Amino acid sequence: MSETVRLTRQEEIDIITIDNPPVNALGPGVPEAIQGAIESAGSDPGVNAIVVIGAGRTFIAGADIREFVKIVRGEKPRRTLLPLLTAIEACAKPVIMAIHGQALGGGLEVAMAGHYRVIAAGAQVGQPEVKLGIIPGATGTQRLPRLAGIAKAVEMCAFGEPIGAGDALASGIVDRIVDGDLLAGAIAFAREVAHMPAPRTSQRNSRLSESDPAIFAAARQQAQKTKRGQTAPLAAIEAVEAATRLPFDEGCALEAKLFGECLYSTQCRALIHAFFAERAVSKIPGIPVDIQPREIRRAAVIGAGTMGGGITMTYANAGIPVIVKETSQEALDRGMATIRKNYAGSVKKGKLAQAAMDERMARITPQLSYAGFEDADIIVEAVFEGMALKKQVFAEIDAIAKPSCILASNTSYLDIDEIASATGRAGMVLGNHFFSPANVMRLLEIVRGEATSHEAIATCMALARKLKKVGVLAGNCRGFIGNRMLGPYLREAQFLVEEGATVADVNQAMYDFGMAMGPLAMSDLAGLDVGWRIRKEFRHLERPGVRQPLVADLLCEMGRYGQKTGRGWSQYDENRNVSPDPETETLIEKTARAAGIERRSIEAGEIVDRCVLALINEGAKLLEEGIALRASDIDVVYLNGYAFPAWRGGPMFYADTIGLDRVLARLEEFETRHGGELWSPAPLLKRLAGSGKTFSSLDQEAAAAAG
Ligand code: T1G
Ligand code: NAD
């Protein structure tokens, strides 16, 4: 047998164990080895049945995604999964799949080629391929509807969410849930079925009669809404639909065709980039791999406002007792009421059990003093965005907190080193920049100061995983990674309306590009007053003679902060439905004319280029300064913090797909038209474009250099 597949025997039952850490992906040699074991056991007269099980933490997490990267780059694909599936299904002895952890993608397809499936209580099964811009490519879209019915198969293949053991049993995907020892349970089951006919999934057609065109129509509508702009979900629906009208083999042929079309698409490259980018963020050069993160058993949060409340929930959700401190009972009650309302909303939607809500509320201790802060392992400050107040608060907690306690600021823009200077423990001070709503958004920017210790960084990176966040390390500059890039992006959106585009034009163009919402709509949601307070804080840094947006401050002086006041760039009714605000449009026009700005009609293409290239150019600058470790980290920030479309891979990957030479040419065009202060191309971008390189190749070189 091979290193990755073991064949053992328990009396008359053969056991095939797949052992390809970390997730038993079906990488090179694995399918062939499993097939060899199946054929050997299948032809052994001493064997009555075969159990297939995974070693380690999971059954099979699918095909080896890295192989797809090679195929798209031109390597010859190894068509090894189908022969394996055929061998399993044709085996003379019943093959029982024993699933724990996850059976995902090709992993579920292997399981469904088996004659029976048993599953551990906490395990999951799924076809997440659409999250990688592909569809199941090894008979999954043809076998799943035969086991689970049409509606379930469409839902799982088109939307990619895994389901639990209970749901898998109820829908007919598995035959039994095993509590306790999975292998023992699987062997017992194998003995029960050893002398029964081995049902072949490919021949189980009874559930195909459940077909109804309404199922596919509803799924397409939902995909166009929730997977807007993505091609794979629609391809997955088409493939499952084929199962209802084509014989198994022809259905598989159509699936393979659709799979191939998806695989060679830019969307697939972008989504696979996003998959590995998210897993690369935790690899930080220079931090010893054996450094032990501290365990965070108790937390404390200062400020129960918009962010403090969400951060408090995040800790309670992760099972960590958390104190939340405010300045007044009224502010504390307001913060706690919001927390309670959010949990009650999740209970109402059936996303959270009442008991779980009660447990989480019980982990939260609201108060007006620093009592108990001396026991905290981390203190997160989320008070108003002002340097003086933050330094005062850090001086206060520095005096109370135990020496090993990490002091983190949720500041959006302020200098971490200056905040740390208010303490005697700069090594334990860093930024933990959550995104609103903090209990929902997955991104956590971890901002290292000059003196921040490796231990503090490693502890927060590990903590991010525990809080179910994606922790991205950022250097200390104004706005760190995300908000620093957001500046030029929002600047251009505002310049475009001054130059003649309407607010709706700008929002629509970026919405059609794939953003969850346009830049001005996003500002209205976040609150124009937040940006206003920050501009006031940094007014002294504005460069004389450099063009600044004119209208946002005027709207704020009129008390128009966006959705929270019903008016901002647009106007909102009591149900937050948006409509153009003629007064704002008039204000924009009047202000622009008074400033001598020429107004013209502007195409959507220019709107997208001005906004997105401003983002990319600033990204290249902060990459060169080392504020971001990798271009792919910037992509992870924008995918998880700013709703940049994942199927475009993030701003830096998107730039690579356009071609850095074309990006540079367009930047130089804008530089000529709008001036070098705002549009001078980042030196790094010039160098990469000049040498025919990409941001991805830059990351690969850095990864290779880091070893
Ligand atoms: N291929 C290659 N590497 C993989 C992998 C895979 N399928 N899954 C995980 N890894 C690596 C990952 O990069 C990381 O590496 C390490 O394993 C741990 O992963 C034919 C076409 C299974 C739920 O989409 O969702 O089958 O960073 O940090 O949080 O129709 O990994 O340590 O070097 O994510 O515990 C379909 C993808 C493939 C599942 C575990 N399968 N994986 O999560 O660990 S396409 C998927 C996951 C396919 C067929 C089609 C998760 C996980 P490193 P991790 P985790
Ligand atoms: P907010 O105004 O909603 O809440 C701030 C809270 O801090 C208020 O409830 C206030 O009473 C309380 N507070 C002030 N001084 C305090 C003190 N000494 N002790 C205890 N509580 C005190 O503000 P917010 O939007 O939650 O922002 C908080 C911080 O998070 C800011 O630094 C902001 O830049 C940052 N941030 C905000 C967002 C966002 O989208 N709102 C996103 C990321 C980061």
What pLDDT score was predicted for residue 689? 98
Average pLDDT, the chain: 96
Question: Which residue CA neighbors atom 12 of ligand 2 most closely?
Answer: 303
The residue from 109, 155, 455, 618 that is catalytic is 109
Distance, CA of 481 to CA of 475 (rounded, Å): 8
- Tell me the best of 18, 23, 99, 262 to mutate to test the pocket of ligand 1, counting ligand atoms within 8 Å of each CB and taking the most: 23
Mean pLDDT (whole number) for 590-596: 97
- Tell me the best of 58, 65, 108 to mutate to test the pocket of ligand 1, counting ligand atoms within 8 Å of each CB and taking the most: 65
**Of the candidates 384, 240, 230, 224, which has an alpha carbon nearest to the alpha carbon of residue 304?**
384
Q: Which amino acid is at 160?
A: G
Distances (CA, A) of 218 to 142, 225, 461: 20, 11, 41
Res. 104: pLDDT tops 70? yes
- Rounded to 10 deg, the angle between the 232-243 and 248-263 helix axes is 170
What pLDDT score was predicted for residue 79? 65
Give the whole-number percent of the chain exceeding pLDDT 90: 94
Distance, CA of 397 to CA of 444 (rounded, Å): 22
Q: Do residues 678 and 617 touch, judged by C-beta distance below 8 A?
A: no
Judge if the beta carbon of residue 123 lies within 6 A of ligand 1. Answer: no
Judge if the beta carbon of residue 61 lies within 6 A of ligand 1. Answer: yes
Using CB distances shorter than 6 Å, the residues near ligand 2 are: 302-308, 325-327, 331, 382-385, 389, 393, 410-412, 434-436, 526, 530
Number of helices followed by number of strands (H, E) in the chain: 31, 19
For residue 268, the ligand closest to its alpha carbon is 1
In this structure, of 77-86, 101-110, 401-410, 524-533, the range with the lowest mean pLDDT score is 77-86
Judge if the beta carbon of residue 26 lies within 6 A of ligand 1. Answer: no
**Of the candidates 201, 179, 209, 202, which has an alpha carbon nearest to the alpha carbon of residue 250?**
202
Question: Which residue CA neighbors atom 16 of ligand 1 most closely?
Answer: 22
For residue 256, the ligand closest to its alpha carbon is 1
Res. 661: pLDDT tops 60? yes
Distances (CA, A) of 101 to 122, 139, 162, 240: 7, 22, 11, 26
- Work out which ligand 2 atom sits closest to the CA atom of 436: 40
Question: Which residue CA neighbors atom 12 of ligand 1 most closely?
Answer: 279
Q: Which amino acid is at 227?
A: K
Judge if the beta carbon of residue 136 lies within 6 A of ligand 1. Answer: yes
How many angstroms is it from 573 CA to the middle of ligand 2? 26
How many angstroms is it from 396 CA to the middle of ligand 1? 44
Q: Which helix (H) or strand (E) holds 472?
A: strand 470-474
The DSSP letter of residue 310 is H
The DSSP letter of residue 75 is P
- Work out which ligand 1 atom sits closest to the CA atom of 104: 41
Question: Which residue CA neighbors atom 17 of ligand 2 most closely?
Answer: 327
Q: Which amino acid is at 429?
A: V
- Work out which ligand 2 atom sits closest to the CA atom of 530: 41
For residue 140, the ligand closest to its alpha carbon is 1
Q: SS3 sequence, 137-195? A: CCCHHHHHHHHHCHHHHHHHHHHCCCEEHHHHHHCCCCCEEECCCHHHHHHHHHHHHCC
Judge if the beta carbon of residue 119 lies within 6 A of ligand 1. Answer: no
pLDDT tens digit string along 611-659? Answer: 999 999 999 999 999 999 999 999 999 999 999 999 999 999 999 999 9
- Work out which ligand 2 atom sits closest to the CA atom of 392: 18
What pLDDT score was predicted for residue 203? 97
Beta strands 578-580 and 378-381 are unpaired
Q: Which amino acid is at 636?
A: V
Q: Decide: helix, strand or coil at residue 348.
A: helix
Q: Work out the burial of residue 321: count CB atoms within 10 Å of its CB; fewer than 13 is exposed, 13-18 middle, 19 or more buried.
A: middle
Q: Do residues 2 and 26 touch, judged by C-beta distance below 8 A?
A: no
Beta strands 102-104 and 124-126 are parallel
- Tell me the best of 412, 523, 528 to mutate to test the pocket of ligand 2, counting ligand atoms within 8 Å of each CB and taking the most: 412
Judge if the beta carbon of residue 101 lies within 6 A of ligand 1. Answer: no
Tokens of 378: 């981390």
Beta strands 163-164 and 124-126 are antiparallel
**End-to-end CA gap in the chain:** 32
**Of the candidates 272, 327, 279, which has an alpha carbon nearest to the alpha carbon of residue 304?**
327
Alpha helices in 281-386 (DSSP H): 306-317, 329-348, 354-362
Q: Work out the burial of residue 167: count CB atoms within 10 Å of its CB; fewer than 13 is exposed, 13-18 middle, 19 or more buried.
A: middle
Q: Which helix (H) or strand (E) holds 253?
A: helix 248-263
Res. 490: pLDDT tops 60? yes
Distance, CA of 695 to CA of 649 (rounded, Å): 12
Mean pLDDT (whole number) for 229-245: 98
Judge if the beta carbon of residue 66 lies within 6 A of ligand 1. Answer: yes
Q: SS3 sequence, 650-686? A: CHHHHHHHHCHHHHHHHHHHHHHHHCHHHHCCCHHHH
How many angstroms is it from 589 CA to the middle of ligand 1? 52
Res. 1: pLDDT tops 60? no
Indicate if the alpha-carbon torsion angle 191, 197, 199, 204 is positive or negative: negative
The residue from 11, 12, 32, 129 that is catalytic is 129
For residue 438, the ligand closest to its alpha carbon is 2
What pLDDT score was predicted for residue 386? 92
- Rounded to 10 deg, the angle between the 695-706 and 604-624 helix axes is 20
- Count CB atoms within 10 A of the CB of residue 615: 26
Res. 679: pLDDT tops 70? yes
For residue 277, the ligand closest to its alpha carbon is 1
Distance, CA of 95 to CA of 88 (rounded, Å): 7
- Work out which ligand 1 atom sits closest to the CA atom of 465: 29
Q: Annotated catalytic, 109? A: yes
Q: Annotated catalytic, 499? A: no
pLDDT tens digit string along 505-514? Answer: 999 999 999 9
Query: How do the residues of the chain divide into helix, strand and coil, expressed in percent and rounded to 5?
Result: 55, 10, 35
- Count CB atoms within 10 A of the CB of residue 254: 17
Name, in order, each residue with C-beta under 8 angstroms of 205's C-beta and a sequence gap of 6 or more.
Answer: 146
Judge if the beta carbon of residue 135 lies within 6 A of ligand 1. Answer: no
For residue 305, the ligand closest to its alpha carbon is 2
Q: Do residues 441 and 434 touch, judged by C-beta distance below 8 A?
A: yes
Q: Decide: helix, strand or coil at residue 7.
A: strand
Tokens of 96: 């029982």
Q: Which helix (H) or strand (E) holds 692?
A: none
Mean pLDDT (whole number) for 356-380: 98
Q: Decide: helix, strand or coil at residue 177.
A: strand
Judge if the beta carbon of residue 592 lies within 6 A of ligand 1. Answer: no
Q: What is the DSSP string of 390-422?
A: HHHHHHHHHHHS-TT-EEEE--SSS-HHHHHTT
- Work out which ligand 2 atom sits closest to the CA atom of 325: 20
Mean pLDDT (whole number) for 160-181: 98
**Of the candidates 321, 627, 702, 295, which has an alpha carbon nearest to the alpha carbon of residue 458?**
295
How many angstroms is it from 306 CA to the middle of ligand 2? 7
Distances (CA, A) of 680 to 368, 607, 664: 50, 18, 10
Distances (CA, A) of 637 to 349, 473, 699: 29, 10, 16
- Work out which ligand 2 atom sits closest to the CA atom of 308: 26
- Count CB atoms within 10 A of the CB of residue 221: 10
Q: Do residues 104 and 62 touch, judged by C-beta distance below 8 A?
A: yes
- Work out which ligand 2 atom sits closest to the CA atom of 434: 43
Mean pLDDT (whole number) for 489-506: 98
What pLDDT score was predicted for residue 77? 74
Q: Work out the burial of residue 355: count CB atoms within 10 Å of its CB; fewer than 13 is exposed, 13-18 middle, 19 or more buried.
A: exposed
How many angstroms is it from 255 CA to the middle of ligand 1? 22
How many angstroms is it from 651 CA to the middle of ligand 2? 29
Tokens of 633: 């980290």
Mean pLDDT (whole number) for 417-440: 97
